[in-house]
Amino acid sequence: MSEIASQYLPILLFLAVGIVFAVIFVGAPVLVSGLTGTAKPDAVKLSEYESGFPAFSDSRGQFDVRFYLVAILFIIFDLEAAFLFPWAVSLHWGGEPAWWAMMEFLGELAIGLVYAWKVGALEWE
């Protein structure tokens, strides 16, 4: 039984150290924040900033879904660019199968772009 326990001891030690560090890195900022008074709002903290005029609506208002669609399309094509650079550098190791795999990937993205264009996701009123 002690042989099995000795095999798991490094894992348990690693978990214990991780939990201690997690408690420190999460608990310490919360404790310091509470002690320094950042959680106690007053008139100066709640006043307008940056623009200089009072807010005209709730800050938690809903955004139009088009903002999210544009953001998702940006992320998709940004990831496309991120995949193209390593692929281009390592193309000589993959050969023709790597070429066709990337062409299939680009074709699927092109189909997605055409679909988004046809349904009007790229148009702004």
Q: Find, among 70, 125, 79, 69, the residue nearest to 105 by Cα.
A: 79
pLDDT tens per residue across span 25-84: 999 988 888 888 766 777 776 677 666 677 666 667 777 777 888 888 888 888 888 888
CA 93 to chain centre: 31
Rounded to 5 degrees, what are φ and ψ at 25? -75, -20
pLDDT > 70: percent of the chain: 86
Quick check: pTM over 0.75?
no
Confidence band, pLDDT 50/70/90 cuts, at residue 111 = very high
Domain 62-125, CATH among 1.20.950.20, 3.40.50.2000, 3.40.50.2300, 1.20.58.1610 = 1.20.58.1610
Which structure tokens are listed for 71?
């953001």
Show contacts of 51-58: CB within 8 Å, 24+ apart. Answer: none
